[in-house]
């Protein structure tokens, strides 16, 4: 894929940049395009505003690759508090977690215990989503997903269309009646593992999306969410869904806060399930740089912020 994408994805892993970027006002101003703020209260206010537009929300606190047990515990406790605050506000907001944020790098059992505690506390009619991280985490993520699904039906996992393996992963998950959020994939992966050409990723996304709609129709999938800002792809999949007889409400699209707002509102107004993932927290550097890598034109937006008042 593009040189700029590779450069930005490498920069997203750079510790010096991570530690220094947040000191610059223009970077913070740029980040605010994709985040309503750094606190849970900021996310809750955004969710209430979006609800007024019939747009649902999923919250995620930014953070990954936690290397300390106390920190993993703090993250798990935070998500329990989030679930409580969501309930108090009468919101239908769901949450999405990264396993490395719950201590996966330290211990698989520790991470699984935190994950189970969070799912157990979530309302039964809401899904707890598990993000998919870089390819070295796919096996363990799917393993922990299968084990949680054995105990709780209300848990979903993200799958990435850029990986060659995803078609097989879907086939293996279907007997468990999974909930799947399909994305294109946000990390730097070698060609043996992921399609290097964007056109091939897009083609695979459509094929997997079609298969998931079929599985949902046959009740082999509990829930299918298309997490993409690709308007042409959404149109093709929505046409496919109508052909298969899905109601508008059963066609679900998830997007990131601040991206394609017009399309989020259009889908909601049409009666589709339109959901926005709201990220908050102070550990935004790698997440933000992955957003730049998805659309290097965003760099112009940062450049404008250098000169903004």
Ligand X SMILES: Cc1cc2nc3c(=O)[nH]c(=O)nc-3n(C[C@H](O)[C@H](O)[C@H](O)COP(=O)(O)OP(=O)(O)OC[C@H]3O[C@@H](n4cnc5c(N)ncnc54)[C@H](O)[C@@H]3O)c2cc1C
Q: Interface with ligand X by CB under 6 A: which residues?
A: 131-132, 158, 160, 183-187, 227-230, 254-256, 259, 277, 291, 294-295, 298
For ligand X, which is the closer residue by CB, 116 or 291?
A: 291
Q: Given 61, 181, 216, 223, which residue is catalytic?
A: 181
Closest distance between ligand X and the C-beta of residue 89, in Å? 21
131 in active site: yes
For ligand X, which is the closer residue by CB, 53 or 70?
A: 53
For ligand X, which is the closer residue by CB, 76 or 277?
A: 277
**Helix 231-243 / helix 198-217 crossing angle, nearest 10 deg:** 30
For ligand X, which is the closer residue by CB, 185 or 281?
A: 185
Q: Map residue 28 onto helix, strand or coil.
A: helix
8 Å CB contact between 251 and 223:
no
Q: Map residue 155 onto helix, strand or coil.
A: strand
Closest distance between ligand X and the C-beta of residue 276, in Å? 8
Q: Map residue 230 onto helix, strand or coil.
A: coil
**E strand intervals along 178-261:** 179-183, 223-227, 252-256
Alpha-carbon 73 to chain mean position: 22
Total number of residues shown for the chain: 309
Long-range contacts of 103-109 (CB under 8 A, 24+ apart): 103/66, 103/69, 103/71, 103/72, 103/73, 103/75, 104/137, 104/140, 104/144, 105/65, 105/66, 105/67, 106/66, 106/67, 106/68, 106/69, 106/72, 108/140, 108/144
8 Å CB contact between 158 and 130:
yes
Q: Given 28, 29, 85, 131, which residue is catalytic?
A: 131
Closest distance between ligand X and the C-beta of residue 64, in Å? 11
Q: How far is CA 135 from CA 61, 159, 166, 183, 184, in A?
A: 21, 11, 11, 14, 13
For ligand X, which is the closer residue by CB, 21 or 183?
A: 183
Residues 118, 121, 123, 129: what is their CA dihedral angle, to the nearest 10 degrees?
0
Closest distance between ligand X and the C-beta of residue 15, in Å? 21
For ligand X, which is the closer residue by CB, 49 or 219?
A: 49
Residues 6+ apart with CB under 8 A from 95: 58, 59, 60, 79, 82, 83, 86, 118, 122, 128, 129
Closest distance between ligand X and the C-beta of residue 290, in Å? 7
181 in active site: yes
Q: Any idea which residues carry the catalytic annotation?
A: 131, 181
């Amino acid at each position: 894929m593009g040189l700029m994408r590779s450069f930005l994805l490498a920069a997203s892993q750079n510790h010096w940049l991570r530690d220094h970027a947040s000191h610059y006002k223009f970077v913070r101003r740029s980040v605010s395009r994709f985040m309503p703020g750094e606190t849970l209260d900021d996310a809750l206010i955004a969710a209430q505003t979006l609800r007024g537009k019939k747009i649902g929300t999923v919250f995620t606190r930014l953070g990954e690759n936690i290397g300390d047990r106390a920190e993993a515990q703090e993250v798990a406790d935070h998500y329990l508090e989030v679930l409580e605050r969501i309930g108090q506000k009468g919101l239908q907001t769901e949450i999405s977690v990264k396993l490395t944020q719950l201590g996966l790098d330290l211990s698989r059992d520790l991470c699984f215990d935190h994950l189970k505690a969070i799912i157990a506390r979530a309302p039964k009619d809401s899904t707890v989503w598990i993000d998919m991280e870089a390819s070295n985490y796919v096996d363990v993520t799917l393993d922990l997903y299968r084990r949680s699904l054995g105990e709780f039906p209300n848990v979903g996992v993200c799958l990435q269309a850029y990986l060659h393996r995803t078609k097989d992963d879907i086939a293996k998950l279907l007997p468990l009646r999974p909930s799947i959020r399909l994305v294109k994939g946000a990390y730097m992966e070698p060609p043996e593992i992921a399609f290097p050409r964007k056109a091939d990723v897009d083609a695979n996304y459509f094929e997997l999306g079609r298969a998931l709609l079929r599985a949902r129709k046959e009740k082999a999938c509990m829930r299918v969410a298309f997490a993409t800002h690709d308007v042409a792809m959404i149109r093709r999949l929505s046409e496919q869904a109508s052909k298969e007889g899905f109601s508008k409400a059963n066609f679900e699209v998830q997007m990131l806060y601040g991206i394609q707002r017009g399309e989020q509102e259009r889908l909601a107004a049409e009666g589709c399930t339109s959901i926005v993932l709201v990220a908050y927290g102070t550990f935004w550097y790698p997440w933000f740089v992955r957003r730049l890598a998805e659309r290097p034109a965003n760099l112009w937006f940062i450049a404008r912020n250098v000169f903004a008042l």
